[in-house]
Structure 1
Amino acid sequence: MRTILSVLLLLALSLPVAAWAQLTDEELASEPPPEDATFDDFAHLVPPTPEGAVSWDLLGSTEEIVEIVNRRSFLRPDYPDEVKALDGQTIRIKGFIYPMQNQEWMAEFLFTALPPSCPYCLPAGAGYIIETRAKNPIRFSWDAVLLEGELEVLEDDPYGLFYRLNDARRVRE
């Protein structure tokens, strides 16, 4: 999984800018978000929280702290007590599968508050992304899905991830 994350980040950083510059407005189909865009500008895309499930608002309330060590920056979480209390708990959360490989059924993927829109771009900040390891492979869907699994609150993830959902399974609503 870590290798896949590294490759995805490398691809995102190495896309030729000239290729994007050649696209017309019609080909882009929409304007890019403004430089000062925030998660709130896209909050209308977050699926509603089902009864008894954890909300993305709660997970997203984790503050992102940037630390510089030896001229390298690292993203560190500052979790609210309500989020810390979820560590090791079985939770339900509704969101979108962000595939890490080109497969219909996946055992490892990212789960996000916002729908995937670019194969090289993560759709949200660290508080709105969960590294997911499924108990059995889960079928990709463009629609929001409800997952259940054991939430792991990560303290020092080398990739800047804040959450992992272990033994995840899809729950029918």
Structure 2
Amino acid sequence: MNSPARPGDFDYRAPAHAEGPALAAMARQCFAETFGHLYDDADLQPFLDEAYGPQGLPAEMDDPQTEFRIACLDGAVIGYAKLSPLRAPAENPRSGALELRQLYVLAPWQGAGVAPALMEWALARARARGAPELYLTVFDHNHRAKRFYARYGFGESGRCTFRMGARIDDDRIWRKPLDTCPPPSPRILP
């Protein structure tokens, strides 16, 4: 763990609409720190402006089908999860499937229990919404994220691409069934 913060020090909640710019700034920073080295700046900056500018992530907060959960420390957003209807090009998804579109935690707080808390929220909300399965996409070379998702029962179920400028990345679609409880066994009468 890179931070002296303990799990109880974090505040988890839905963001207020006024926090959209702070959430977007945190997401922009996290994406740039994690993936910025892969892209030319001429491609990266327009992507960041579009994805995290006023018409990007803050505007998504107005979508009633998209839910956000933020993690804060001392009033600053340090992580978030975003849950929405499925947008990834999954093969044969079940009706009502949802997608965990982002789960980001700033580097100093990775390993402090923030990501597991956000994942548990996403799984609980997906189940509460009646989703039979939850999907996500992950960059194929993001091995840390893939190990994390595997610990929660996600498994690779397909491929898709992520384009930024001229570069096309190989992403993987991962799926977790949420209704894996077997039906009750028929009662056997004597």
Alignment TM-score, normalising by the size of structure 1: 0.28
**Structure with the greater alpha carbon radius of gyration:** 2
Structure with greater proportional helix content: 2
TM-score, structure 2 as length reference: 0.26
